[in-house]
Structure 1
Amino acid sequence: MDNTQLHVAIVSSPGMGHLIPVLVLGNRLATNHNIKITILAITTTSSSSEIKFLKQSNEKKTIEIIPIPSVDISHLIDSTTKVITQLRLLVREALPGIRSGIASMNHRPDALIVDIFGTQMLSIAEEFNIPKYVFHTSTAWLLAVFIYQQVIDQEIQGEHVDLKQPLEIPGCKALQPDDVMDPMMDRNDQQYHEYLKLTMEYTCFDGILINTWKDLEGETIKALRSNEKLQPGLKVPLPIYPIGPLRRTFEITERDEVIQWLDKQNYESILFVSFGSGGALSSQQMIELAWGLELSQQKFVWVVRPPSDGDLDNAYLNSNGNDTRVMSEYLPEGFLTRTKDMGLVVPMWAKQVEILSHSSVGGFMSHCGWNSTIESLTNGVPMIAWPLYAEQKMNAAMLTEEIGVAVRPDISPTKKLVKREEIQGMVRILMDTKEGKSIREKAKKLKISAENALSEGGSSYNSMCELVKDIRTR
């Protein structure tokens, strides 16, 4: 058997939500499979946090990280340009930098792995004759929708926003109209066409890695591998590699204020509230959430970002922490004083992985981004699902209806204001009822399942070995 060290290049799209799973994948391949890893990270003009995170992540020098200079797309967009269009444009404009980065490498990579928004790099992989793989950083269910999108586009007439019946995905859970992703809604928007191109590009790769595991999405993974209806027009089924759940690890070097406060709290008594690095609520919704937390009388840690009453897409892409408002300006009058013994309000950012792994945390109110969901599930922490954009409504539906590890509002927060009474009720259900205890037990079983999948001989470990073998034999 050939034991020469493989060299794999991995490309990250802009944004922390894309950068984190790519770094975790790179570290796992380097540490567990002795592969030389080079990460090409496309950065954005607005986010210094990405550069800082890159430097911190590279302190141990286990992988090589090459930041790709940010590109200016201001001449290509206007105030109505949606997030997927912007991300696709950012990657498109960065392609010359990616190509130069690969061309300048002493040893040409044995494989190129790109994340969800990096599929436009097909031409670069083909130019250099490099085997190419997509790292699908979300669920197998979303991947099934991606692959089937070409059929959906042809068969569904009119706008998805007008759908009355669920979208049937062969071999998978049907997609309810309320959970359809925003990019699928409007055929007249450039975002729809960028999304459609992206899903078509997926089927041109040599294989797809998914950040999920067999026990979590077994039926969907089976459908992806064997259901011919799900892969129309493909001569051979795409190789599917469920390699998750990949999440950040951490070493506690110092116990900051939040961890010290958690150390003093009772076992599983704290609700952690955070909506991700790009998540923003409206001013009105933030007031209702504050009142809901206060009325619940349950202890909490809330990572607060300034409200955004504009477009969620712009809030996501411009979450650079430059807002100078103080929290008392947008939280209910007296809230911080009244809840000082009951909760901890943290401005802008907190150590999420450390917090979710703390024994005093018993619940997580989350936007259901897949990184955050993985971090919650791998710590056995149940959730209050609060989806904001992208595929988060699908994630919320899966967590509540299929896996049973979460509760969510009756109507999506993106469609209607969630009132304080409903928030209070959800918090109490999760933290202080028999129903919540049952949900917590399911979450703890999933934690064990995740550990087993990643351990030597587990389903995801074996899947990663199959991927490495495939790269080596190409």
Structure 2
Amino acid sequence: MESSKPHAVIVSSPGVGHLVCDLELGNRLVADQNFHVTFFVVLESQASAGESHLIQSAMAQKLLDIVVLPPVDVSGQVGPNSPIFTRLTAVMTEIRPTLRSAISDLKPSPTAIVVDAFGTPVLEVADEIHVLKYVFVTSAWPLALMLYAPILDEEVEGEYVDQKEPLRVPGCMSVRPEDLVDPLLDRTKHEYKVFLQVGSEMRGSDGVLVNTWEDLDTRTLKAIREEEGFGSVSVYAVGPLIKPAGPSASRSELLDWLDEQPIESVLYISFGSLGVLSAQQITELAWGLEMSQQRFIWVLRPPSKKDASADRGDDALNYLPEGFLSRTQKLGLVVTQWAPQSEILCHRSTGGFLSHCGWNSSLESILRGVPMIAWPLYAEQKMNATKLAEEEGVAVRPKIAPTRGLVGREEIEMMVRKVMEDQEAGKAMRARVKELKASGEKALTEGGSSFNAMSQLAEQCAMNSERQKGKGK
């Protein structure tokens, strides 16, 4: 019977990145664990093109009951330039009455509520209706830092960025001050307090789901489960959950061009939906690419308007060196609109990915067997880049972090050549990333570690549902 299925509510905070992996989590719970899933989409304003595309695709699949909630206006509470952590947690706090009302109308009643890292204010609703509450986060090492942050707050004096030694996180890689997530860069700011609050709320949940798998994060997952400093929260490694590549019918000119290139010969360059470079850095990257003489697809955006040298208008092509497009027309393509990233990374001709190291993009690259040039820009990307380059050996990274200075053309040329043609280093990275690809795919199949973690989750939900029915009698 339909009503005997566990019924999970997933609440996705604004942003394409969250929507991608939250939807895939919902799809897996339905397809693999026989859940019924109601999926609430929270918007900060009107849906972006990326969000609309994802929502429409999910609705067409008919696996999930999709409910798009009215956009939330928090302009009276936070400024337009407020950090993302502050802004999105304000949105998720503001949506609670609307969500509470929508969930109360659901039949059958939900067994569990799942939120992403920005949605912990919504856990209050789960407490009110006495259902299990889970948080779904991206990567394991930043999760460890977040759970341990309340202890660091008491132990460390002064600003974390001024520490002479890396921050010690029990059982995990230590975190260098230059790799810290944005909210920890200034302890006097409100964003820091929000970060601590979210870590505390996660500790009070019934479990944290992580978009990773046991073999990729053995050390960190073991530490969170066994070291008391993390608050004894249950951790379920349920990944790698990524956006599936679209059908071949949705072809673009980029894929037609890729069809004509040699196997593993093209470098794909993208910094995510929010990542931008300075005008000067665009120039250096262009020269480095040209000097490397490697094939490429570059998704180029104009610099931020805060950049004093961004005086050439909104057309991103205006920021390329004069003559660049004509000199490189046989080597590559520059795209100023959307590009089908999943399909590009899947393509046999793609051999490298210059990436901002958002965890979704990192997992996509690994699951497609593509080594990376790590170019972190914000959020937890610096920690991801360090893990990918130093612990996993599937990426190279610049000597100076792109957030701290200009990466010159010669170094860019060297990194591109290392990934794309270096017989020793490039070959080793390619072999390692293909090992991880096989390991990640195995984790999701029946009997794999992530499949089993989701089965445990389903059992926990079923047991709680039975308990609730017993209380109701």
**TM-score over 0.5 (shorter chain):** yes
Q: Is the 8 A contact 1:281 1:309 kept in 2?
A: no
Structure 2 distance, partners of 1:249, 1:417, is: 35
2:254 aligned with 1:271: no
Q: Is the 8 A contact 1:288 1:420 kept in 2?
A: yes
2:419 aligned with 1:419: no
Match of 2:194 in 1: 194
Match of 2:281 in 1: 285
- Residue 431 of structure 1, aligned match among 415, 420, 425: 420
Question: SS state of the match for residue 153, structure 2?
Answer: helix
Structure 1 distance, partners of 2:305, 2:313, is: 16
Q: Is the 8 A contact 1:282 1:309 kept in 2?
A: no
Q: Structure 1: which amino acid aligns with 2:128?
A: E
Match of 1:368 in 2: 357
Q: Is the 8 A contact 2:19 2:54 kept in 1?
A: no
Question: SS state of the match for residue 365, structure 1?
Answer: strand
Match of 1:383 in 2: 372
2:239 aligned with 1:244: yes
1:174-215, CA deviations, whole angstroms, 9 ceiling, x for partnerless residues? Answer: 111110112011111111111111111100100111100111
Structure 1 distance, partners of 2:197, 2:281, is: 35
Q: Is the 8 A contact 1:135 1:210 kept in 2?
A: yes
Q: Is the 8 A contact 2:3 2:108 kept in 1?
A: no
Q: Is the 8 A contact 1:283 1:309 kept in 2?
A: no
Question: SS state of the match for residue 215, structure 2?
Answer: helix
1:354-408, CA deviations, whole angstroms, 9 ceiling, x for partnerless residues? Answer: 1101111110000000000010001111000000000000000000110010000
Identity of aligned residues (%): 47
Q: Is the 8 A contact 1:99 1:124 kept in 2?
A: yes
Question: SS state of the match for residue 216, structure 1?
Answer: coil
Structure 2, gaps ≥5 residues long: 465-473
Match of 1:183 in 2: 183
2:133 aligned with 1:132: yes
1:12-68, CA deviations, whole angstroms, 9 ceiling, x for partnerless residues? Answer: 011101111100000111111121111111112154322332112211211111111
Q: Structure 2: which amino acid aligns with 1:375?
A: E
- Output aligned runs, 1:252-401, within 5 Å: 252-310=248-306, 325-401=314-390
Q: Structure 1: which amino acid aligns with 2:425?
A: E
Question: SS state of the match for residue 108, structure 1?
Answer: coil
Match of 2:467 in 1: none
Match of 1:111 in 2: 112
Q: Structure 2: which amino acid aligns with 1:123?
A: E
C-alpha change, 1:272 and 1:209, in structure 2 (3 Å) is same
Structure 1 distance, partners of 2:296, 2:81, is: 36
Question: SS state of the match for residue 11, structure 2?
Answer: strand
- Residue 456 of structure 1, aligned match among 441, 446, 449: 446
Q: In the TM superposition, what is the alpha-carbon distance from 1:254 to its structure 2 partner?
A: 3.3
Structure 2 distance, partners of 1:46, 1:106, is: 28
Structure 2 distance, partners of 1:424, 1:304, is: 18
Q: In the TM superposition, what is the alpha-carbon distance from 1:429 to its structure 2 partner?
A: 0.7
Deviation above 3 Å: which 4+ runs of structure 1? none
- Give RMSD over aligned pairs: 1.7
**TM norm structure 2:** 0.94
C-alpha change, 1:281 and 1:241, in structure 2 (3 Å) is same
Structure 2 distance, partners of 1:14, 1:38, is: 17
Q: Is the 8 A contact 1:140 1:217 kept in 2?
A: yes
Match of 2:164 in 1: 164
Aligned residues: 457
Structure 1 distance, partners of 2:409, 2:42, is: 40
Question: SS state of the match for residue 291, structure 1?
Answer: helix
Moved more, 70-79 or 216-225: 70-79
Structure 1, gaps ≥5 residues long: 312-322
Q: In the TM superposition, what is the alpha-carbon distance from 1:248 to its structure 2 partner?
A: 1.3
Structure 2 distance, partners of 1:142, 1:330, is: 34
